[in-house]
Structure 1
Amino acid sequence: MISLNGAPEILLAAALALASALTVVLVRRRRRKSPDELERLRRLDVNRHGRLATGQILDFVEPPPGKAGPRLMTYKYNVGGVGYEAAQDISALPGVVKVARRAAGQVVNLKYDPRRPTNSILACEEWSGIPVLDSAGERHQAPLSAADKPAEQS
């Protein structure tokens, strides 16, 4: 015959273990960042810890009108005698997207991670290396958002 001595304690321990495991799973899921958030954090990290270099815009690739998709700026640069080509999705940076359409061939500043030079950016939420020409032909950095755009002088 099976003894039921200690059964309530075993059930209580099993219930607590199950509740603990469920709590861990829920907390981890809640902390998981979206791909867009991970990319934003990567850009900000390269901006804060990266080194400046000079590069050249190769192309700007947009999805067809009415279609969703990334807006990519392709560019090339050299670090320590090694050439790199990269692309950055600038969809989350509307102020940069406006000037990107006319940027092909321009010389730009970029930032790269000195530990991993392939990790680079042309712009982020706090900085842009893409120049724009004003009406007088002067080079300025691209506005980061529509709110950052300088006012027109009359």
Structure 2
Amino acid sequence: MKEVKSAVKIWSPLEIELAAGVVVVLIVCAAFAYFMVRRKKSPAEVERVRRLSLGRTGRITAAEITGLNEPEGEHTALELVYRYDIAGVTYEVAQDVSTLPAVAAAARRLIGKGISVKYEMKHPSNSIVACETWSGISGISTGGPEQPRSLSPVSGKTKDL
């Protein structure tokens, strides 16, 4: 009688340990890659992305700077407080400008001045005075590639600065 050889290979304990080690390394690498891609953005990064988004897509309207919230204790943000009207509703909001050096340097002399703001049409309270690529403050450039535009508080028309 002819002996039939089995096609099934029996693994040695060493081969099983090596295979298990490879699987563990692959799982660890996949988990690391997943967490690197899905990492949570810091609050500063979330704010920067919000500013840049409004700088690109926001609608411009006239506004007035009404105050300045200066850093105190643990609160390190320098905030410009400003007011604007959209469809008969007055919004009074503040923007942290401490990460925008040109705006922060001029903040004290801007109180009471007319400026332009960009706001989100679906959420008009979401607005900015300036971002990395746009400034609604006449004479202040934030250093971005876009040309600053301003809305004249007198005529209500947009103009290139």
Normalization by structure 2: what TM-score?
Answer: 0.67
Would you tell me which structure has more strand in proportion to its own residues? 1
Q: Which residue of 2 aligns with 1:52?
A: 60
Q: Report Cα offsets for 1:127-150 as digits up to 9, x if no partner.
A: 21123xxxxxxxxx32326xxxxx
Q: Which has the larger radius of gyration?
A: 2
Aligned residue type for 1:88: Q
Distance 1:143 1:25 in 2: 37
Q: Which residue of 2 aligns with 1:149?
A: none
Normalization by structure 1: what TM-score?
Answer: 0.70
Q: Report Cα offsets for 1:27-70 as digits up to 9, x if no partner.
A: 423xx332222211211110110111111111012125x97700
5+ long unaligned stretches in structure 1:
132-140, 146-154
Q: Report Cα offsets for 1:76-104 as digits up to 9, x if no partner.
A: 11111111111000001111112211111
Shift of 1:20: 3.1
1:142 equivalenced with 2:152 (yes/no): no
Distance 1:21 1:125 in 2: 34
Residue of 24, 33, 50 corresponding to 2:34: 24
Matches within 5 A, 1:5-154: 8=16, 11=20, 15=24, 16-17=26-27, 19-29=29-39, 32-64=40-72, 69-131=76-138, 141-144=139-142
| Alignment: residue pair count | 129
5+ long unaligned stretches in structure 2:
1-9, 144-161
Distance 2:131 2:36 in 1: 32
Indicate the RMSD between aligned Cα atoms, in angstroms: 2.7
